[in-house]
Amino acid sequence: MSKTKLTINSNGSVKIEGDFEIVDRNGGVYGLQGRTVLSICRCGLSKNKPFCDGSHNGHFEHDAIAFDLPPKKV
C-alpha cells in the first residue's frame, strides 16, 4: 500500500492524497466514489463539511510552515 500524504495548505484546507478511508466518529464510512485526492475543511465555513468547498477564501489565515513537535512523552 502506498503512503498517504496530507498537505496543510496555507490559508486553506488539508489535501489528502493516496489510499485512504474517511470515517465518522461512529465508524460510518464516507462514500468517496473512488477519489484518491480530496481536501478537508480546516476553517469550519464549508457547507460540505468535512470536505472543503472553498468557503475559506479571504476568511481564514494560517501560514502553513512545517516544524518539529517536541519529543513524545513516554
Distances in Å between the Cα of 30 and the Cα atoms of 25, 26, 34, 43, 67 are 11, 11, 11, 20, 31
DSSP string, 28-43: PBP--TT-SEEEE-SS
Distance CA 2, CA 34 (A): 16
Residue corresponding to grid cell 464516507: 30
Predicted confidence pLDDT, tens digits, the chain (74 residues): 578 999 999 999 999 999 999 999 999 999 999 999 999 999 999 999 999 999 999 999 999 999 999 999 99
